Structure 1
Amino acid sequence: MLKGCSTFLSVALLCFVCTIAKAQNTDKSFVWGINGHPLTQRDYSNNWDEQISALNDLKLNSYRLDVLLDPDGYAKKEQSFIKILNDLKKNNIAALPAVMQSGLNNADTDSIYQKGYKQGMNFGTRYGDYLSVVEVNNEGDNKIRLRNKPGRIKDGEYDTVKAKKFIAGIKGFIDGLKAAKPNVKVSLSVSFTHFYYLQLLKDNQVNYDIIGYHWYSNMGDIINVKPAFGNVLSYISKRFNKTIWITEFNYFKGTTSANFATQSDYITQTIKKILDQGIIKGFFIYELFDQTYLKTRYPFEACYGLIYKDSMGRYIKKDAYESYKQIVGK
């Protein structure tokens, strides 16, 4: 067990989260979700039944997972992917695959668009009947933003050559996907205050539907970002006129050094602030399980989960699990 962990939530905190749930969770179309890695990470590789059980216990209606694609746009672990899609459907949980394109390097922009289009067409034709929303890549802002640049509103903070190619691949995939399955919506994710990435998508007429916003505690107060933006949810809603989901959210570094109560308190109090704005239509915690196998190489990414595994191999729920369950609960 992590140092300083708290085993039980206080009565006051339980009352607080119950109040949030009653006040906020009245819209039945609201998407409540969580992130996981059943196709890509070792800590998710042999516990699918436990993942499904937790998703149902939390009463979530969406599961965001990363899916690696081959150069033709098909899932690399296709049999496992299709099983996941079927199992989620049986449990009335929507899959939100964040698909990772491949095979687009060393080509000109037009060729990248055409390859991306073929990938999207193939992906939509093969899997589209299972899906209502697809995310294309993840945090494109951080892939094309120049290092140590804020990426807010200036063109010069991005690698323009890389950006053109990256956006061509995304745009091609989306156009191909929507040609195959016009009713499937597309989410594109962005983190922190990297607003110029959204402007680049707009300038290049990328046909997506949902901004998947990523926010962690180290980024500050999401409704009072200084010096210039204030409520960033309101800012991007008015400027880009898209549906907004928060598709990654947690206390920074999870419980790597913070105790369980600190993580839980941050999640509970900040969700209330966010929902009170009446702007977002979906909310996803990052993530379901701790990833102990990341501790050596990426130690600060290992303890974001709402569930951890103890020394006996048992899955133990953190305080934040119970808080989130109360917030989501009908």
Structure 2
Amino acid sequence: MKEKSNILNPNEPIIWGINGHPVTSKDYLKISIDQQLQILQQHQISYYRFDVRLDLEGNVVWYENEFEELLKKSQSYQIELMPVILINLFFDDYQITEEEAFLRGQRQMKGFVSKYGQNIDVYALGNEQDLRLLKNDSTGLYPSDYEVDKFKIVAAYFKGMISGIKQVNPNSKTIINSSNGLYFGYYQLLEDYQIDYDIIGYQWYSFSYGSEKIFADAIMDLYSQFKKPIWVTEINRTHGSLEDDNNDQSYLMDSFMRTLNLIPEIKAFFIYELFDEPSLKGLHKEFEQSQYGIFKWNGSNKIEPKPVSDVVKLNIEEKKNGSENYVFSVFQKLLLKEPSKDELDFWSKQFESANSMESFLELFLSEQQVYFEKVLSLNRSAKERKEISGVKTDQVYEQYLNRLPNPVEKRFWVSKLSTKSPIFDIHRTILLSEEFWVNAMRNGYERNSGFKFNN
């Protein structure tokens, strides 16, 4: 039996995003901007987070034509962009003054936002800057774990960037992240130096089942300390699908996405990343980065989805429309009709307020006056009861799951139904099953998104 989904509890809409490298990676350049944006649409992802290389005047210096194409076409696909401004080249090995760092950051972002920012609302200021500031053999738990003299240069640059952005568009938001998932000394330094950024970026990678609880606790601790909105800007299984014979990437991502219900402080969730990057294979021994994608390469210039792609689709659809999809399928499969809008709205609310799926189903059956035979007549012979049980099992599976039972399922239900087990047992079990639920989400995805589930 499927438990009532943890991902369904009411919450303000979450932003779904994904990382990519459309203007910095030669692997991504083999796939058109249109195709990248179409894949985001197919997964109901509304934000694309990506690196961008600028000069100090704010001009895009890597693949400017592709960047401008992305900027233009993202609007027609209704995809929001979050550029990650790469800033490590502009500190002169931390030898510039804080005043110069401020002026550089301000000039750079004022130029960038003036030229490109008409349709950009959120700017990521650098990426994992804490890694370059952490002292040897330090964890990052305390502000003293960082090289403060270097941090002052970065802090001044951040202040300049924020000033430049806000001068052009005061309503824009800024986000700063760290790489250190469990230790918050870097964020404390940001607060101590009064960096007026808007959003905390949080990143999480893990090999381990059960790490979802650690992930949830860390997010809640982070929010309680700093009281800023939290966007998960990168998340995946460590090393992605590398040496992943058991599809752990899919299982872990499914678990991470379902953990969202436990963490209302999370306002956005960005998967890392769209495509594998085979050009990175072997470049970083400790952090292999070539197989993080939800798509892999089949040959040199053709991509295909990994199993985690379906996990992403299903979880986003479940979060957006889970209760409605289940109710719609119950109407369609049980009552053999589609619900009206009023019926769908009413029963979706009943589902969300029910203590469990089972209590919802009992209420629904009672209100709709749906009744099943209690047991097969004991006046029949054992052979007749067994034959009828087999027919009924086939009928129920075909009605609700569009398939016949496999031999194990068939033997189980024939044995139960040919004795004194209530006929309702098989209906209830299938309607509450994981398979019925997943089919409801898949069908709902196709109905709501306009895309076929398998593309």
Bigger drift between 39-48 and 139-148 goes to: 139-148
Bigger drift between 295-304 and 88-97 goes to: 295-304
In the aligned structure 1, how far is the partner of 2:118 from the partner of 2:164? 15
- Structure 1 residue matching 2:276: 3-state secondary structure: coil
Report what 2:17 is aligned to: 33
2:19 alignment partner AA = N
The answer (yes or no) to whether the contact 1:222–1:232 under 8 Å persists in 2 is: no
Report what 1:205 is aligned to: 194
In the aligned structure 2, how far is the partner of 1:312 from the partner of 1:116? 39
Deviation at 1:260, TM superposition (A): 5.9
The answer (yes or no) to whether the contact 1:39–1:66 under 8 Å persists in 2 is: yes
Aligned: 1:155 with 2:129: no
Report what 1:9 is aligned to: none
- Structure 2 residue matching 1:166: 3-state secondary structure: helix
Equivalent residue runs for 1:64-83 within 5 Å: 64-76=49-61, 77-83=63-69
Report what 1:247 is aligned to: 233
Question: Using CA pairs below 8 Å that are at least 6 residues apart, which structure has the higher relative contact order?
Answer: 1
1:186 is matched with which residue: 168, 174, 188? 174
Equivalent residue runs for 1:268-287 within 5 Å: 268-287=254-273
Q: Deviations for 1:244-300, whole angstroms, at most 9, x for unmatched residues?
A: 010100000011112362110001012212332212000011001011111142362
In the aligned structure 2, how far is the partner of 1:260 from the partner of 1:248? 22
The answer (yes or no) to whether the contact 2:31–2:301 under 8 Å persists in 1 is: no
Aligned: 1:61 with 2:46: yes
Which consecutive residues of structure 2, in runs of 5 or more, have no partner in the other structure? 321-455
Deviation at 1:82, TM superposition (A): 1.8
Equivalent residue runs for 1:32-181 within 5 Å: 32-48=16-32, 49-76=34-61, 77-101=63-87, 102-105=89-92, 106-152=95-141, 154-181=142-169
Bigger drift between 57-66 and 109-118 goes to: 109-118
Aligned: 1:264 with 2:250: yes
Report what 2:299 is aligned to: 311
The answer (yes or no) to whether the contact 1:223–1:233 under 8 Å persists in 2 is: no
The answer (yes or no) to whether the contact 1:135–1:187 under 8 Å persists in 2 is: yes
Q: Deviations for 1:43-78, whole angstroms, at most 9, x for unmatched residues?
A: 101212321121111010000000011122222133
- Identity across matched positions, percent: 30
The answer (yes or no) to whether the contact 1:175–1:207 under 8 Å persists in 2 is: no
In the aligned structure 1, how far is the partner of 2:66 from the partner of 2:241? 30
Bigger drift between 98-107 and 118-127 goes to: 98-107
- Structure 1 residue matching 2:96: 3-state secondary structure: coil
Deviation at 1:323, TM superposition (A): 0.4
Tell me the TM-score normalized by structure 1.
0.87
Higher-Rg structure is: 2
Q: Deviations for 1:123-148, whole angstroms, at most 9, x for unmatched residues?
A: 22112211110101001211211133
Report how many residues are paired.
309
Report what 1:217 is aligned to: 206
2:23 alignment partner AA = L
Which consecutive residues of structure 1, in runs of 5 or more, have no partner in the other structure? 1-11
In the aligned structure 2, how far is the partner of 1:183 from the partner of 1:260? 45
The answer (yes or no) to whether the contact 1:190–1:213 under 8 Å persists in 2 is: yes
In the aligned structure 2, how far is the partner of 1:312 from the partner of 1:72? 36
The answer (yes or no) to whether the contact 2:49–2:84 under 8 Å persists in 1 is: yes
Tell me the TM-score normalized by structure 2.
0.64
2:213 alignment partner AA = I
The answer (yes or no) to whether the contact 2:143–2:188 under 8 Å persists in 1 is: no
Q: Deviations for 1:169-200, whole angstroms, at most 9, x for unmatched residues?
A: 11111111111110110011122123111111
- Structure 1 residue matching 2:310: 3-state secondary structure: helix
Report what 2:279 is aligned to: 293
CA RMSD of aligned residues (A): 2.2
CA, structure 1 residues 234+26, in 2 after alignment: closer, same or farther (shift >3 Å)?
Answer: closer
CA, structure 1 residues 268+74, in 2 after alignment: closer, same or farther (shift >3 Å)?
Answer: same
Q: Give the strand-richer structure, 1 or 2.
A: 1
- Structure 1 residue matching 2:247: 3-state secondary structure: helix
1:187 alignment partner AA = I
1:142 alignment partner AA = L
The answer (yes or no) to whether the contact 1:124–1:178 under 8 Å persists in 2 is: no
2:26 alignment partner AA = R
In the aligned structure 1, how far is the partner of 2:309 from the partner of 2:196? 35
Report what 1:7 is aligned to: none
1:196 alignment partner AA = G
CA, structure 1 residues 31+253, in 2 after alignment: closer, same or farther (shift >3 Å)?
Answer: same
In the aligned structure 1, how far is the partner of 2:12 from the partner of 2:225? 25
The answer (yes or no) to whether the contact 2:38–2:77 under 8 Å persists in 1 is: no
The answer (yes or no) to whether the contact 1:310–1:316 under 8 Å persists in 2 is: yes
